[in-house]
Every structure is written in structure tokens, then in C-alpha cells.
Amino acid sequence: MKKALLIGACLVFSNAAFAVQYGTSGIITPADCDALNEDVKVTLTNGVVAGAECNPGAIAFATCHTGGRTTSRTVEDLNCTSEAGVDRFGNATTVQTCVPFDPPQYSNKTGAQMATVSTVQPSVVLVVEDGVTCSAANAETAAGDRL
């Protein structure tokens, strides 16, 4: 189901500012994001929480599992940059892109792993921030960081 949520996010575009936290399954409606022409059902399995944000031209999701690993581990660092850009409607927006460093760089981090995706960069990016726990609020923040 998590993969279906992330793949669904890749197919959805937004035209309204919107942020939401999901502790259980829910629905995003066209009233939430103007560019949607139908409801999008967010289905979460037991223990999974999610957050979503959209702006005038993109939507992003982040998910994590409340029982997931939070102990110290070595993770690959990502080079995330934010640039001014234009969405598909011609509106000014900020676009964040995350790519691996070349050569790869690693660091030890302790925290929940968030699976994030956005229509701006539709590949799934796994993010681990030091000290961040898995909660719907933190998932929403992680989603917002992808816009």
C-alpha cells in the first residue's frame, strides 16, 4: 500500500496550497488541491502515518512506520538543492531536488526513515533526519521539504 500511495502521488498535480497529516487513511479532494479532478484516496496500513503538502504546481507525500528503526545507522547523504522555478501553470515556485553526491558520502544518523515523493521529482527519496521520530506531523514536514 505504501508503494501505491507513493506512485499515486506521482500522478497527481496540485493548484492550491494545502497541507495535511494522516494518522489513518483519508481522502484529498479537488477542494483541497484545485488541479485534482477527482478524490484521491490515501490508504495506510497499520502503523504507517503520512503527510501531504501541495502548492500551486506540485504535490508531495511522505510516509513512515511508527514501529520502524530509529537506532543509529550509516545512511547515504543526499545533495538537496532548492531553486526558483515555474510550475506547470506558469506560477513561480520553489523546487527541491535531491541527488546522491559523487562520490557517495555517508554519515551516521539516528531517527525515523521517511519515504518521500513529489510530482517535482517523482522518484522515491528516503530521508533520515537526526532525532526525528515517526509522526504524521513530521511526515508532513518531510513532504513540505520536497516542494
What is the mean pLDDT of each successive set of 10 residues along the chain, which is 147 residues long?
40 48 83 75 92 80 92 87 72 76 92 89 84 93 85
Question: In terms of residue numbers, what domain contains 78?
Answer: 2-145
Q: Beta-strand (E) ranges in 12-129?
A: 18-22, 26-28, 40-42, 48-55, 58-65, 73-76, 78-86, 92-100, 106-109, 113-118, 125-128
Q: What are the backbone angles phi and psi of residue 64, rounded to the nearest 5°?
A: -155, 165
pLDDT score for 56: 67
List 55's β-bridge partners, or say none. Answer: 58
pLDDT score for 10: 37
Please give the Cα distance from 88 to 134 (Å, whole number).
32
Our count of domains for the chain comes to: 1
